[in-house]
């Protein structure tokens, strides 16, 4: 009789973690956009919420990159087209860098140095928003490639035996 594989396999850590940055980083953009409406009464709350979502999402993005690297060596052996995995990995690094740049720009509000005064301008808010928009595009693209790996190539998916004897 076959035995079911453990649910805590290394290659499954990535899909368990990766959904956090997807939601948090897209949420950072959704919270940020209404803050640009002149005279919006909740602008300060929206910006603070967007920052919290951005900072935590960026941290989870890097954790996702790490867990994806762990899964890479295991999953690559089972793929028909490993170039999709390479594209997925490159897009993940790029989105993590984009959101890291947005985070660094946001952090300048908490640094009391005169050399960062040029970043305390309304242009800074738009720079962050543009990075959030670009990064969100990469989130969608990276997620699409990840879905392609799972649903078209069966990456990290357990295939039961023909008669499913391991479930008896």
Q: For residue 29, is pLDDT > 80?
A: yes
Report the alpha-carbon distance of residue 48 to residue 144 in Å, rounded: 29
Amino acid 100: pLDDT? 97
Q: Which residue has the higher pLDDT, 168 or 66?
A: 66
Domain ranges within the chain, ordered by starting residue: 10-167
Report the alpha-carbon distance of residue 48 to residue 56 in Å, rounded: 12
Amino acid 1: pLDDT? 46
Q: For residue 115, is pLDDT > 70?
A: no
Report the alpha-carbon distance of residue 70 to residue 57 in Å, rounded: 20
Q: Which residue has the higher pLDDT, 31 or 165?
A: 31
Show the DSSP H helices in 33-163 as ranges: 43-75, 82-107, 122-153
Tokens describing residue 72: 């890479």
Cα distances (angstroms) measured from residue 123 to each of 41, 55, 134, 141, 145: 20, 20, 16, 27, 33
């Amino acid at each position: 009789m076959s035995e079911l594989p453990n649910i805590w396999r290394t290659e499954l850590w990535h899909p368990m973690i990766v959904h956090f940055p997807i939601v948090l980083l897209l949420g950072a953009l959704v919270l940020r956009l209404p803050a640009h409406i002149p005279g919006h009464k909740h602008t300060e709350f929206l910006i603070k919420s967007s920052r919290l979502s951005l900072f935590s999402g960026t941290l989870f993005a890097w954790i996702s990159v790490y867990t994806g690297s762990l899964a890479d060596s295991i999953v690559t052996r089972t793929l028909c087209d490993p170039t999709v995995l390479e594209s997925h990995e490159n897009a993940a690094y790029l989105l993590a860098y984009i959101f890291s740049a947005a985070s660094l720009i946001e952090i300048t509000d908490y640094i009391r140095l005169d050399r960062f005064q040029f970043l305390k301008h309304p242009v800074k808010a738009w720079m962050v928003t543009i990075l959030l928009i670009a990064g969100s595009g990469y989130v969608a693209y990276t997620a699409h490639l990840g879905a392609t790996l799972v649903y078209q190539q069966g990456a990290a998916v357990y295939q039961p035996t023909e008669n499913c004897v391991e479930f008896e």
